[in-house]
Structure 1
Protein backbone atom coordinates (compact mmCIF):
# COMPACT_ATOMS: atom_id res chain seq x y z
CA UNK A 1 0.00 0.00 0.00
CA UNK A 2 2.74 2.48 0.96
CA UNK A 3 4.60 1.70 -2.27
CA UNK A 4 1.52 2.43 -4.34
CA UNK A 5 0.96 5.76 -2.59
CA UNK A 6 4.55 6.87 -3.19
CA UNK A 7 4.34 5.77 -6.81
CA UNK A 8 1.30 7.91 -7.54
CA UNK A 9 2.85 10.97 -5.95
CA UNK A 10 6.03 10.65 -7.92
CA UNK A 11 4.22 10.23 -11.22
CA UNK A 12 1.97 13.26 -10.90
CA UNK A 13 4.62 15.95 -10.61
CA UNK A 14 5.99 17.42 -13.84
CA UNK A 15 9.59 18.58 -13.29
CA UNK A 16 8.99 21.78 -15.23
CA UNK A 17 8.16 25.41 -14.76
CA UNK A 18 5.21 26.28 -12.49
CA UNK A 19 1.77 26.73 -14.01
CA UNK A 20 1.27 29.96 -12.10
CA UNK A 21 -1.90 28.77 -10.41
CA UNK A 22 -2.67 29.78 -6.84
CA UNK A 23 -3.12 27.14 -4.18
CA UNK A 24 -6.79 26.09 -4.11
CA UNK A 25 -8.90 26.38 -0.99
CA UNK A 26 -9.99 23.40 1.04
CA UNK A 27 -13.54 22.49 2.02
CA UNK A 28 -15.52 19.66 3.53
CA UNK A 29 -14.27 16.66 5.45
CA UNK A 30 -12.57 13.55 4.13
CA UNK A 31 -15.29 10.87 3.62
CA UNK A 32 -15.53 8.15 6.26
CA UNK A 33 -13.96 4.83 5.35
CA UNK A 34 -15.67 2.46 7.75
CA UNK A 35 -18.67 0.38 6.89
CA UNK A 36 -20.04 -1.13 3.67
CA UNK A 37 -22.24 0.81 1.32
CA UNK A 38 -25.85 0.78 2.43
CA UNK A 39 -26.98 1.15 -1.18
CA UNK A 40 -25.33 0.85 -4.56
CA UNK A 41 -24.25 4.05 -6.35
CA UNK A 42 -26.55 5.24 -9.09
CA UNK A 43 -25.73 3.33 -12.25
CA UNK A 44 -24.48 0.15 -10.59
CA UNK A 45 -27.78 -1.64 -10.24
CA UNK A 46 -28.12 -5.02 -11.96
CA UNK A 47 -29.34 -4.64 -15.52
CA UNK A 48 -31.47 -7.01 -17.51
CA UNK A 49 -30.77 -10.69 -17.23
CA UNK A 50 -28.10 -12.09 -19.53
CA UNK A 51 -28.63 -14.95 -22.00
CA UNK A 52 -28.43 -17.49 -19.17
CA UNK A 53 -31.03 -15.67 -17.11
CA UNK A 54 -28.54 -14.43 -14.49
CA UNK A 55 -28.71 -10.79 -13.36
CA UNK A 56 -26.05 -8.65 -15.02
CA UNK A 57 -23.95 -6.40 -12.77
CA UNK A 58 -22.28 -3.18 -13.89
CA UNK A 59 -20.12 -2.79 -10.76
CA UNK A 60 -16.88 -3.75 -12.55
CA UNK A 61 -17.43 -1.83 -15.80
CA UNK A 62 -14.33 -0.03 -17.11
CA UNK A 63 -14.53 3.80 -17.02
CA UNK A 64 -14.30 5.70 -20.31
CA UNK A 65 -14.84 9.40 -19.59
CA UNK A 66 -15.20 11.76 -16.63
CA UNK A 67 -17.28 14.93 -16.67
CA UNK A 68 -17.88 17.75 -14.21
CA UNK A 69 -20.36 19.92 -16.12
CA UNK A 70 -20.23 23.04 -13.96
CA UNK A 71 -16.49 23.53 -14.50
CA UNK A 72 -16.48 22.21 -18.10
CA UNK A 73 -14.27 19.23 -17.27
CA UNK A 74 -14.68 16.51 -19.90
CA UNK A 75 -11.78 14.10 -20.26
CA UNK A 76 -11.23 10.58 -21.58
CA UNK A 77 -10.09 7.98 -19.08
CA UNK A 78 -7.27 5.51 -19.67
CA UNK A 79 -6.58 2.51 -17.45
CA UNK A 80 -3.14 2.88 -15.86
CA UNK A 81 -1.00 0.61 -13.76
CA UNK A 82 2.52 0.71 -12.37
CA UNK A 83 5.50 1.33 -14.67
CA UNK A 84 8.80 -0.54 -14.54
CA UNK A 85 10.36 2.18 -12.40
CA UNK A 86 7.65 1.79 -9.75
CA UNK A 87 5.67 4.90 -10.61
CA UNK A 88 2.05 4.99 -11.65
CA UNK A 89 1.49 5.25 -15.40
CA UNK A 90 -0.17 8.64 -15.79
CA UNK A 91 -1.32 9.37 -19.38
CA UNK A 92 1.21 11.29 -21.47
CA UNK A 93 -1.63 13.43 -22.81
CA UNK A 94 -2.40 16.05 -20.15
CA UNK A 95 -5.95 16.25 -21.52
CA UNK A 96 -6.56 12.63 -20.49
CA UNK A 97 -7.09 11.11 -17.04
CA UNK A 98 -5.77 7.85 -15.65
CA UNK A 99 -7.83 5.32 -13.69
CA UNK A 100 -5.66 3.33 -11.25
CA UNK A 101 -6.76 -0.11 -12.41
CA UNK A 102 -5.28 -1.98 -9.44
CA UNK A 103 -8.03 -0.47 -7.31
CA UNK A 104 -11.83 -0.40 -7.64
CA UNK A 105 -13.37 1.14 -10.78
CA UNK A 106 -15.80 4.05 -10.50
CA UNK A 107 -19.18 2.56 -9.67
CA UNK A 108 -17.81 -0.25 -7.51
CA UNK A 109 -19.94 -0.81 -4.39
CA UNK A 110 -16.93 -0.49 -2.06
CA UNK A 111 -13.51 1.13 -1.87
CA UNK A 112 -11.83 4.18 -3.36
CA UNK A 113 -11.83 4.54 -7.16
CA UNK A 114 -8.81 6.69 -8.01
CA UNK A 115 -8.45 9.01 -11.00
CA UNK A 116 -5.14 10.83 -11.52
CA UNK A 117 -4.23 13.60 -13.93
CA UNK A 118 -1.83 16.45 -14.60
CA UNK A 119 -2.58 20.06 -13.74
CA UNK A 120 -0.44 21.23 -16.69
CA UNK A 121 1.79 19.83 -19.42
CA UNK A 122 5.37 20.30 -20.53
CA UNK A 123 4.48 23.42 -22.52
CA UNK A 124 2.78 25.03 -19.53
CA UNK A 125 -0.73 24.59 -20.95
CA UNK A 126 -3.32 23.54 -18.41
CA UNK A 127 -4.21 19.87 -18.12
CA UNK A 128 -7.66 18.35 -17.67
CA UNK A 129 -7.41 18.26 -13.89
CA UNK A 130 -6.63 21.97 -13.59
CA UNK A 131 -10.44 22.17 -13.50
CA UNK A 132 -10.37 20.55 -10.05
CA UNK A 133 -9.18 23.91 -8.69
CA UNK A 134 -12.65 25.28 -9.52
CA UNK A 135 -14.94 22.57 -8.15
CA UNK A 136 -17.31 23.26 -5.29
CA UNK A 137 -19.14 21.11 -2.78
CA UNK A 138 -22.24 19.72 -4.46
CA UNK A 139 -20.82 19.60 -7.98
CA UNK A 140 -21.88 16.51 -9.89
CA UNK A 141 -19.32 14.16 -11.43
CA UNK A 142 -20.45 11.69 -14.09
CA UNK A 143 -18.28 8.79 -15.21
CA UNK A 144 -19.20 7.07 -18.47
CA UNK A 145 -18.45 3.34 -18.55
CA UNK A 146 -18.06 0.62 -21.13
CA UNK A 147 -21.32 -1.25 -21.81
CA UNK A 148 -22.88 0.25 -18.67
CA UNK A 149 -24.87 3.32 -17.69
CA UNK A 150 -22.95 6.31 -16.29
CA UNK A 151 -22.29 6.43 -12.56
CA UNK A 152 -22.78 9.70 -10.71
CA UNK A 153 -21.01 11.23 -7.73
CA UNK A 154 -21.31 14.46 -5.73
CA UNK A 155 -18.25 16.43 -4.62
CA UNK A 156 -18.09 16.60 -0.83
CA UNK A 157 -14.53 17.65 0.06
CA UNK A 158 -11.23 18.98 -1.25
CA UNK A 159 -7.90 19.06 0.54
CA UNK A 160 -4.27 19.89 -0.21
CA UNK A 161 -1.63 17.52 1.18
CA UNK A 162 2.13 17.17 0.98
CA UNK A 163 3.21 14.65 -1.65
CA UNK A 164 4.68 12.39 1.02
CA UNK A 165 1.52 12.51 3.13
CA UNK A 166 -1.23 11.42 0.79
CA UNK A 167 -3.70 9.51 2.99
CA UNK A 168 -3.22 5.75 2.71
CA UNK A 169 -6.99 5.25 2.57
CA UNK A 170 -6.99 6.87 -0.86
CA UNK A 171 -6.06 3.43 -2.22
CA UNK A 172 -8.31 1.30 -0.04
CA UNK A 173 -10.30 -1.49 -1.68
CA UNK A 174 -13.02 -1.88 0.92
CA UNK A 175 -15.33 0.23 3.06
CA UNK A 176 -17.67 2.92 1.85
CA UNK A 177 -17.43 3.80 -1.87
CA UNK A 178 -15.83 7.07 -2.91
CA UNK A 179 -14.38 8.60 -6.07
CA UNK A 180 -10.97 10.19 -5.43
CA UNK A 181 -9.43 12.59 -7.95
CA UNK A 182 -5.79 13.66 -7.59
CA UNK A 183 -3.59 16.25 -9.28
CA UNK A 184 -0.62 18.49 -8.43
CA UNK A 185 -0.72 21.61 -6.26
CA UNK A 186 1.69 24.46 -5.44
CA UNK A 187 4.25 25.30 -4.27
CA UNK A 188 6.44 24.48 -7.24
CA UNK A 189 10.15 23.94 -6.62
CA UNK A 190 12.26 22.95 -9.61
CA UNK A 191 15.21 21.98 -7.42
CA UNK A 192 13.07 19.58 -5.39
CA UNK A 193 11.45 17.93 -8.39
CA UNK A 194 8.41 20.06 -9.22
CA UNK A 195 5.13 20.48 -7.38
CA UNK A 196 5.42 19.74 -3.68
CA UNK A 197 1.78 19.07 -2.83
CA UNK A 198 -1.26 17.26 -4.18
CA UNK A 199 -4.83 18.43 -4.58
CA UNK A 200 -7.30 15.69 -3.62
CA UNK A 201 -11.02 15.91 -4.42
CA UNK A 202 -13.46 13.47 -2.84
CA UNK A 203 -16.87 12.67 -4.27
CA UNK A 204 -19.49 10.35 -2.81
CA UNK A 205 -22.02 8.30 -4.79
CA UNK A 206 -25.37 9.76 -5.72
CA UNK A 207 -27.75 7.20 -4.26
CA UNK A 208 -30.70 5.71 -6.04
Structure 2
Protein backbone atom coordinates (compact mmCIF):
# COMPACT_ATOMS: atom_id res chain seq x y z
CA UNK A 1 0.00 0.00 0.00
CA UNK A 2 1.39 3.39 -0.99
CA UNK A 3 1.77 6.32 1.40
CA UNK A 4 -1.03 8.12 -0.48
CA UNK A 5 -3.41 5.19 0.05
CA UNK A 6 -2.60 5.08 3.77
CA UNK A 7 -3.38 8.79 4.12
CA UNK A 8 -6.67 8.33 2.25
CA UNK A 9 -7.67 5.38 4.45
CA UNK A 10 -6.92 7.33 7.65
CA UNK A 11 -8.90 10.31 6.37
CA UNK A 12 -11.82 8.04 5.57
CA UNK A 13 -11.76 6.56 9.09
CA UNK A 14 -11.76 10.05 10.61
CA UNK A 15 -14.81 11.02 8.54
CA UNK A 16 -16.62 7.84 9.61
CA UNK A 17 -15.85 8.45 13.29
CA UNK A 18 -17.02 12.07 13.13
CA UNK A 19 -20.17 11.09 11.25
CA UNK A 20 -20.95 8.39 13.79
CA UNK A 21 -20.49 10.87 16.64
CA UNK A 22 -22.83 13.36 14.98
CA UNK A 23 -25.48 10.70 14.44
CA UNK A 24 -25.18 9.52 18.04
CA UNK A 25 -25.42 13.06 19.36
CA UNK A 26 -28.42 13.74 17.15
CA UNK A 27 -30.14 10.61 18.40
CA UNK A 28 -29.49 11.65 21.98
CA UNK A 29 -30.99 15.07 21.37
CA UNK A 30 -34.02 13.61 19.64
CA UNK A 31 -34.66 11.18 22.46
CA UNK A 32 -34.23 13.77 25.22
CA UNK A 33 -37.69 14.83 26.48
CA UNK A 34 -38.64 18.47 25.97
CA UNK A 35 -38.08 20.80 28.89
CA UNK A 36 -41.06 20.98 31.22
CA UNK A 37 -42.73 24.38 31.10
CA UNK A 38 -42.40 26.31 34.31
CA UNK A 39 -45.15 28.73 35.20
CA UNK A 40 -44.80 32.36 35.08
CA UNK A 41 -43.84 34.92 37.22
CA UNK A 42 -45.75 32.82 39.57
CA UNK A 43 -43.80 29.56 39.18
CA UNK A 44 -40.87 30.48 41.36
CA UNK A 45 -39.77 28.64 44.50
CA UNK A 46 -41.52 29.77 47.66
CA UNK A 47 -38.35 31.52 48.83
CA UNK A 48 -38.16 33.67 45.70
CA UNK A 49 -40.40 36.76 45.36
CA UNK A 50 -42.82 36.40 42.46
CA UNK A 51 -44.10 39.17 40.25
CA UNK A 52 -47.26 40.05 42.11
CA UNK A 53 -46.27 43.30 43.78
CA UNK A 54 -48.21 44.83 46.65
CA UNK A 55 -47.80 48.61 46.78
CA UNK A 56 -46.66 50.34 49.97
CA UNK A 57 -49.70 50.79 52.16
CA UNK A 58 -50.60 51.02 55.82
CA UNK A 59 -50.84 47.48 57.10
CA UNK A 60 -54.16 46.40 58.47
CA UNK A 61 -54.34 45.73 62.16
CA UNK A 62 -53.34 42.11 62.63
CA UNK A 63 -56.53 40.08 62.40
CA UNK A 64 -57.55 37.91 65.31
CA UNK A 65 -56.19 34.42 64.90
CA UNK A 66 -59.66 33.05 64.27
CA UNK A 67 -60.11 35.44 61.30
CA UNK A 68 -57.09 34.12 59.38
CA UNK A 69 -58.27 32.24 56.26
CA UNK A 70 -57.30 28.58 56.12
CA UNK A 71 -59.10 27.23 53.04
CA UNK A 72 -60.86 28.26 49.85
CA UNK A 73 -63.60 26.17 48.27
CA UNK A 74 -65.30 26.41 44.88
CA UNK A 75 -67.74 23.54 45.08
CA UNK A 76 -69.08 23.90 41.55
CA UNK A 77 -65.71 23.04 39.99
CA UNK A 78 -64.30 20.78 42.68
CA UNK A 79 -61.77 23.13 44.27
CA UNK A 80 -60.81 22.89 47.93
CA UNK A 81 -57.39 24.40 48.59
CA UNK A 82 -55.51 25.34 51.76
CA UNK A 83 -54.68 29.00 52.32
CA UNK A 84 -51.56 30.26 54.12
CA UNK A 85 -50.52 33.83 55.03
CA UNK A 86 -47.91 35.50 52.80
CA UNK A 87 -46.18 38.86 53.02
CA UNK A 88 -44.16 41.01 50.65
CA UNK A 89 -40.40 40.76 50.35
CA UNK A 90 -38.30 43.96 50.10
CA UNK A 91 -39.49 45.71 46.96
CA UNK A 92 -43.09 44.64 47.44
CA UNK A 93 -43.16 41.32 45.59
CA UNK A 94 -45.36 38.78 47.30
CA UNK A 95 -43.85 35.45 48.25
CA UNK A 96 -46.17 32.83 46.77
CA UNK A 97 -46.37 29.19 47.87
CA UNK A 98 -44.36 26.95 45.56
CA UNK A 99 -47.15 24.37 45.29
CA UNK A 100 -49.95 25.74 43.06
CA UNK A 101 -52.36 23.67 45.14
CA UNK A 102 -51.78 26.06 48.06
CA UNK A 103 -53.10 29.62 47.99
CA UNK A 104 -51.42 32.57 49.67
CA UNK A 105 -53.40 35.24 51.53
CA UNK A 106 -51.86 38.74 51.65
CA UNK A 107 -51.67 39.08 55.43
CA UNK A 108 -51.18 42.88 55.29
CA UNK A 109 -54.61 43.28 53.71
CA UNK A 110 -58.16 42.64 54.79
CA UNK A 111 -59.28 39.40 56.40
CA UNK A 112 -62.38 37.48 55.31
CA UNK A 113 -65.47 39.03 56.83
CA UNK A 114 -63.88 42.48 57.19
CA UNK A 115 -66.42 45.25 56.49
CA UNK A 116 -64.03 47.00 54.09
CA UNK A 117 -61.02 46.25 51.89
CA UNK A 118 -59.64 43.56 49.61
CA UNK A 119 -58.99 40.00 50.74
CA UNK A 120 -56.13 39.27 48.31
CA UNK A 121 -55.37 35.63 47.49
CA UNK A 122 -52.58 34.62 45.11
CA UNK A 123 -51.37 31.31 43.67
CA UNK A 124 -49.40 29.85 40.80
CA UNK A 125 -51.51 28.56 37.94
CA UNK A 126 -49.08 25.65 37.53
CA UNK A 127 -45.52 24.60 38.31
CA UNK A 128 -43.11 22.09 36.78
CA UNK A 129 -42.79 20.04 39.95
CA UNK A 130 -46.53 19.88 40.64
CA UNK A 131 -48.48 20.33 37.41
CA UNK A 132 -51.61 22.46 37.08
CA UNK A 133 -53.18 23.92 40.19
CA UNK A 134 -56.76 24.90 41.09
CA UNK A 135 -56.30 28.37 39.60
CA UNK A 136 -56.13 26.77 36.14
CA UNK A 137 -59.80 25.80 36.60
CA UNK A 138 -60.89 28.91 38.44
CA UNK A 139 -59.77 31.24 35.64
CA UNK A 140 -62.35 29.51 33.41
CA UNK A 141 -65.22 29.48 35.90
CA UNK A 142 -68.41 31.32 34.86
CA UNK A 143 -69.46 34.58 36.44
CA UNK A 144 -71.47 34.24 39.66
CA UNK A 145 -69.61 31.04 40.61
CA UNK A 146 -69.76 30.72 44.40
CA UNK A 147 -66.46 30.90 46.31
CA UNK A 148 -66.25 30.18 50.04
CA UNK A 149 -63.39 31.17 52.32
CA UNK A 150 -63.15 29.46 55.70
CA UNK A 151 -61.30 31.01 58.62
CA UNK A 152 -59.44 29.36 61.47
CA UNK A 153 -62.52 29.45 63.70
CA UNK A 154 -64.60 27.62 61.11
CA UNK A 155 -66.44 30.75 59.99
CA UNK A 156 -67.44 30.92 56.33
CA UNK A 157 -67.39 34.01 54.12
CA UNK A 158 -69.16 33.53 50.80
CA UNK A 159 -68.47 35.40 47.59
CA UNK A 160 -69.72 35.33 44.00
CA UNK A 161 -67.32 35.76 41.07
CA UNK A 162 -68.16 39.05 39.39
CA UNK A 163 -65.20 40.07 37.23
CA UNK A 164 -62.19 38.58 35.47
CA UNK A 165 -59.50 40.37 33.48
CA UNK A 166 -56.06 39.63 32.07
CA UNK A 167 -53.45 42.37 32.51
CA UNK A 168 -49.77 42.72 31.59
CA UNK A 169 -47.75 42.17 34.73
CA UNK A 170 -46.44 45.72 34.65
CA UNK A 171 -50.02 47.05 34.77
CA UNK A 172 -51.33 45.33 37.89
CA UNK A 173 -53.41 48.10 39.53
CA UNK A 174 -52.31 49.23 42.96
CA UNK A 175 -55.93 49.70 44.00
CA UNK A 176 -56.38 45.92 44.12
CA UNK A 177 -54.43 46.07 47.38
CA UNK A 178 -56.66 48.32 49.41
CA UNK A 179 -57.85 48.40 52.98
CA UNK A 180 -60.73 50.72 52.12
CA UNK A 181 -63.77 50.56 49.93
CA UNK A 182 -66.36 47.84 49.64
CA UNK A 183 -65.35 44.36 50.81
CA UNK A 184 -64.27 41.97 48.08
CA UNK A 185 -62.14 38.94 47.35
CA UNK A 186 -59.29 39.51 44.86
CA UNK A 187 -57.74 36.39 43.32
CA UNK A 188 -54.53 36.75 41.29
CA UNK A 189 -52.69 34.17 39.21
CA UNK A 190 -50.75 34.12 35.94
CA UNK A 191 -51.90 33.77 32.36
CA UNK A 192 -51.37 34.98 28.83
CA UNK A 193 -48.46 33.72 26.75
CA UNK A 194 -45.83 31.47 28.32
CA UNK A 195 -42.20 32.26 27.44
CA UNK A 196 -40.07 29.12 27.71
CA UNK A 197 -36.88 31.17 27.59
CA UNK A 198 -37.71 33.13 30.74
CA UNK A 199 -40.05 30.65 32.42
CA UNK A 200 -42.69 33.37 32.84
CA UNK A 201 -46.20 34.09 31.63
CA UNK A 202 -46.87 37.49 30.09
CA UNK A 203 -49.90 38.46 32.16
CA UNK A 204 -51.64 38.30 35.50
CA UNK A 205 -55.24 37.11 35.60
CA UNK A 206 -57.25 39.03 38.18
CA UNK A 207 -60.60 37.74 39.45
CA UNK A 208 -62.89 39.82 41.64
CA UNK A 209 -65.59 38.26 43.80
CA UNK A 210 -68.10 40.20 45.89
CA UNK A 211 -69.82 39.09 49.10
CA UNK A 212 -72.75 36.84 48.31
User: Is the TM value for this pair above 0.5?
Assistant: yes
Query: What is the match of residue 100 of structure 1?
Result: 106
Distance in structure 2 (CA, Å) of the matches to 1:85 and 1:185: 23
Query: What is the match of residue 127 of structure 2?
Result: 121
| Partner residue of 1:201 out of 189, 201, 207 | 207
Distance in structure 1 (CA, Å) of the matches to 2:131 and 2:65: 35
The answer as to whether partners of 1:106 and 1:151 remain within 8 angstroms in 2 is: yes
| Partner residue of 1:65 out of 56, 61, 71 | 71
Alpha carbons of structure 1 residues 111 and 205: separation in structure 2 relative to 1, 3 Å: same
Query: Which residues in structure 2 correspond to 1:56-205 (within 5 Å)?
Result: 61-83=67-89, 86-123=92-129, 125-205=131-211
Shift of 1:94: 1.7
Alpha carbons of structure 1 residues 179 and 171: separation in structure 2 relative to 1, 3 Å: same
Task: Calculate the TM-score normalised by the size of structure 2.
Answer: 0.67
Structure 1 portions without partners, runs of 5+:
1-10, 16-56
The answer as to whether partners of 1:112 and 1:177 remain within 8 angstroms in 2 is: yes
Q: Which structure is larger by alpha-carbon Rg, 1 or 2?
A: 2
Query: What is the match of residue 30 of structure 1?
Result: none
Shift of 1:59: 11
Shift of 1:189: 1.5
**SS of the residue aligned with 2:73?**
strand
Report which structure shows greater RCO (CA 8 Å, sep ≥6). 1
Alpha carbons of structure 1 residues 75 and 164: separation in structure 2 relative to 1, 3 Å: same
1:14 counterpart = 2:43 = yes
Alpha carbons of structure 1 residues 168 and 62: separation in structure 2 relative to 1, 3 Å: same
More helix by share: 2
Query: Which residues in structure 2 correspond to 1:37-48 (within 5 Å)?
Result: none
How many residues are paired up? 155
Shift of 1:70: 1.0
CA RMSD of superposed structures (Å): 2.3
